[in-house]
Chains A and B, each alone.
Chain A
Amino acid sequence: MEKDFSEIFQSKIDEELKIEPKDWMPEKYRQTLIRQISQHAHSEIVGMLPEGNWISRAPSLRRKAILLAKVQDEAGHGLYLYSAAETLGITRDEMYEQLHSGKAKYSSIFNYPTLSWADIGAIGWLVDGAAIMNQVPLCRSSYGPYARAMVRICKEESFHQRQGFEILLTLSKGTEAQKRMAQDAINRWWWPSVMMFGPKDDESPNTIQSMQWKIKRFTNDELRQKFIDVCAEQVKVLGLALPDPDLKWNEERKHYDFGKINWEEFWQVVQGNGPCNKQRLEARKKAWEEGAWVREAAVAYAEKRKQKESLHAA
């Protein structure tokens, strides 16, 4: 019986039909999706923190409004994604629990600090840029609710990326101090952004199965190469440089060659030893714990309302 279901399932996937919440799916497919979608949702929520760090200090009212709206968009992305994950049979509270306990991960990039205003530009250009490379193929994910959430998210992300690039472009045309600030931000955010695509293909345990299930469409290294090729061109528009002396166009491969990635740093940050891992998680836990009485009050009030209404009805 299971075998029949499993064949129907894979044939749907092969025909590019979407899997919907009520359809049969292998348990491992469900678990893989829960892991991936909740990790993505957590990344949106934790990702609010480094950028939120500059809302109060944004250098103009226009920039302040744009940044606040952007961080708010990320909260919205978190909402869609938590909802998509909930269709797989896990609650938002359970996912928070996994985040707070360290069981669930979020994108390591958000464990790096935002030290200057230019970081807001660099995050938009590089981090959102890398995220888009990862996410555009997810709009065709085999799981319907995830694919649909990603369509909305990708539209907003590409808007964010343009805004980020525009911040850097303005800085690059500005004073010496502004150019220095922009270059410094690119120096610090470049390598962590390159690492956002995850481990090398031969060290990425989930890739093969995820590609067969069409949860994933390209490998980590394919996407990474694409990202580097794009950025190597875009940085010329800024008149700035990527911090990689080995970055060079390879005519034969029709791709940019690039330097060695510091995987030691990557794994250290994943394991919780990045510059801001502790602060990010603490901030999330604090918001959650200090909000407990608010959520309890909302539930208690709703209960009271319900009781009053049923009294009126009776």
Chain B
Amino acid sequence: MTKQYLIDYTLQLADNALILAQRNSEWCGHGPVLEQDIAISNISLDLIGQARNFYQYAATLIGGNATEDSLAYLRDAIDFKNNLISEILNGDWAQTVLRQFLVSTYQFYLYDALQKSPDQQLAAIAEKALKEVTYHVRWSSEWVIRLGDGTSESKQRIEKALEEIWPYTGELFIPVQHETDAVTAGIGVDPKMIEENWKQKVSTVFSEATLTLPPQNIWMHTGGKNGIHTEYLGYILAEMQFMQRAYPSAEW
């Protein structure tokens, strides 16, 4: 029998990718520059691809009638395990690119470690995703630097975004039960182990962007990985799941 922690761990990886993809795709057709509209849509597409791979794997672990779509479209917020940072509002371009940088950097170190997992499926998905995420980190860090060291308005906006988003970063590195179990089983990545690398990279980019790291003692929001979300997720799901809910068991 498949261990529940492995299912939950895989779903967490999938949910993180899907919810951020859903958010980023809101930019499609509305970006500030045509080339960047394409870039953010591309990141969204990569994330959908990653989510699908993780959901498909989770579906085989769960068995029965589970599919990538039943997992994405027929679970409610309480069962979604994504980090809160994926679901918060896009805000302006500063908030979107800063969030992307903080999440992509986290995904980079996570996938880099996960590709060595003895779970061959997770390792293979991580290896493939790492190539994409490497580009996401580069693209988003360039934007953070450009906005931080651009005009006084862009600096002000990205500082405001930082204030908004930073309290959602702590959760990334605080393991919940299914993560701890996956780590104990030797399959998952201990988030504590990637925290240092993440901080290092963030502080390097921030220094080039002339941004100051927020103080250590800031209160961090948590709960996403245990299904306790912000108010935003309910609306994301209401919109995303509408068709599957309104027309149960139809083929599309």
- Chain A residues close to B by CB (< 8 Å): 45, 48-49, 52, 55-65, 68-69, 71-72, 75-76, 78-79, 82, 117, 167, 170, 173-175, 177-178, 283, 286-287, 290-298, 300-301, 304
Q: A68-B41, A68-B48, A72-B41 are in contact. Are A177 and B149 (CB under 8 A)?
A: no
Q: Please tell me if the beta carbons of A68 and B29 are within 8 angstroms of each other in the complex.
A: no
B190-217 vs A: 1/0 string, CB under 8 Å? 0000000000000000000000000000
Stretch at the interface among B133-141, B172-180, B243-251: B243-251
Most chain A CB inside 10 Å of its own CB: which residue of B22, B51, B145, B153: B153
Chain A residues, CB < 8 A from B31 = 287, 291
Contact of A293 among B30, B34, B45, B151 (CB under 8 A): B151
Q: Please tell me if the beta carbons of A175 and B55 are within 8 angstroms of each other in the complex.
A: no
Closest 8 CB pairs of A and B: A291-B32, A297-B150, A297-B154, A59-B243, A48-B29, A294-B32, A52-B29, A59-B252
Q: Please tell me if the beta carbons of A45 and B25 are within 8 angstroms of each other in the complex.
A: no
Question: Does B119 make an interface contact (CB < 8 A)?
Answer: no
Chain B residues, CB < 8 A from A300 = 150-151, 154
Chain A residues, CB < 8 A from B154 = 293-294, 296-297, 300
- Chain B residues close to A by CB (< 8 Å): 18, 22, 25-26, 28-38, 41-42, 44-45, 48-49, 51-52, 55, 68-69, 72-73, 92-93, 145-147, 149-151, 153-154, 157, 239-240, 242-244, 247, 250-252
Chain A residues, CB < 8 A from B252 = 59-60, 63, 117, 167, 170
Contact of B30 among A61, A287, A292 (CB under 8 A): A287
Chain A residues, CB < 8 A from B239 = 56-57
Q: Please tell me if the beta carbons of B240 and A65 are within 8 angstroms of each other in the complex.
A: no
Q: Which B residue sits closest to A177, measured CB to CB?
A: B247
Q: Please tell me if the beta carbons of B93 and A72 are within 8 angstroms of each other in the complex.
A: no
**Could you pull out 15 A-B pairs where Cβ atoms are within 8 angstroms?**
A48-B29, A60-B244, A64-B48, A71-B29, A72-B28, A72-B42, A75-B41, A117-B243, A178-B250, A283-B29, A283-B30, A286-B30, A290-B92, A291-B32, A297-B151
Q: Which B residue sits closest to A53, measured CB to CB?
A: B29
Chain B residues, CB < 8 A from A59 = 73, 243-244, 247, 250, 252
Q: With the chains together, A52 CA to B247 CA distance in Å?
A: 21
Q: With the chains together, A65 CA to B29 CA distance in Å?
A: 15
Q: Please tell me if the beta carbons of A294 and B250 are within 8 angstroms of each other in the complex.
A: no
Most chain B CB inside 10 Å of its own CB: which residue of A63, A64, A69, A177: A64
Chain A residues, CB < 8 A from B149 = 301, 304
Q: With the chains together, A76 CA to B36 CA distance in Å?
A: 11
Contact of A79 among B29, B34, B52, B72 (CB under 8 A): B34
